[in-house]
Amino acid sequence: MKREELNLYFVMGSSDCNGRDPSGVLQEAINGGITLFQFREKGHDAKVGAEKKELALELKKICKRHDIRFIVNDDIDLAVEIGADGVHIGQEDTAFPVAKEKLISRMIIGVSCHTVEEAEAAVNHGADYIGVGPMYFTTTKKDIREVKGPEVVRQIRNAGMTIPIVGIGGISVENTGEILESGADGVAVISAITKAGSPFAAASEFSRCIGK
Ligand code: TZP
Ligand code: MG
């Protein structure tokens, strides 16, 4: 994948949208300039089964219309079934080789990493990009690891890794600059867009700040 695709990575599921229609939120975010989308359907009221699939297909269609690639969080079977562009897996999710085996070739695989060691393992497995975080404190994900800030990204770059990196966790327009300065190719954002009064305005501000 082109590293520019990670510039403004929007991550979202229905429970992130404050009761708003996820399709509308996604459409606004796309209009505001997001460069990649991840469907992350989590939380106590998350959709499952047929409803989850239906929402995934709806959001994928919107992405496709605008040439934004559509990544599915964790659910490899769903990703394959609906012809997603890729998957994103965490350290506690399906092991990389198992995921790789199930996927259709050319599908993107992103991996969440929290340390230089995890990043090295992901690179060795052949990950297309890594998500590093949490950069800052966030209440969006309940089981977050220790907050280490952009310093981890700097350590990964200093260890010589050139893999595309996106920072995640508590990212706002205000702290985006320091994430990019640490060596990340972009920012992955949930609440700063989904909980904004105007997801369009929020995504537009990020785009301006990233300047690409
Ligand atoms: N992984 C690490 S932090 C996080 C995920 C999925 C949540 C990011 O959400 P927000 O609202 O942008 O802090
Ligand atoms: Mg996960």
Residue 208 has pLDDT above 90, yes or no: yes
Q: From the candidates 52, 60, 100, 141, give the one annotated as an active-site residue.
A: 141
Please name the helix (run of DSSP H) or strand (run of DSSP E) that holds residue 108, with its range, or none. Answer: strand 108-113
Mean pLDDT value across residues 172-194: 98
Establish whether 154 is a catalytic residue: no
Establish whether 112 is a catalytic residue: yes
Residue 187 has pLDDT above 90, yes or no: yes
Residue 181 has pLDDT above 70, yes or no: yes
Residue 178 has pLDDT above 90, yes or no: yes
Report CA torsion sign: 101, 83, 24, 202.
Answer: positive
Is the pTM higher than 0.85? The answer reads yes
Residue 104 has pLDDT above 90, yes or no: no
Establish whether 172 is a catalytic residue: no
Which numbered ligand comes closest to the C-alpha of 196?
1
Q: How far is the CA of 55 from the centre of ligand 1 (A)?
A: 21
Mean pLDDT value across residues 94-103: 91
Q: How far is the CA of 11 from the centre of ligand 1 (A)?
A: 8
Question: Can you give the pLDDT at residue 212?
Answer: 66
Neighbours of 211 (CB within 10 A): 7
Q: State the Cα–Cα distance between residues 141 and 14, nearest whole angstrom.
A: 14
Q: From the candidates 14, 15, 100, 112, give the one annotated as an active-site residue.
A: 112
Contact between 187 and 166 (Cβ < 8 Å): yes
Q: How far is the CA of 14 from the centre of ligand 2 (A)?
A: 16
Tell me the percentage of the chain whose pLDDT exceeds 90.
93
Contact between 30 and 68 (Cβ < 8 Å): yes
For the segment 20-67, what is each residue's pLDDT rounded down to a tens digit? 999 999 999 999 999 999 999 998 899 999 999 999 999 999 999 999
Bridge partners of residue 109, in order along the sequence: 87
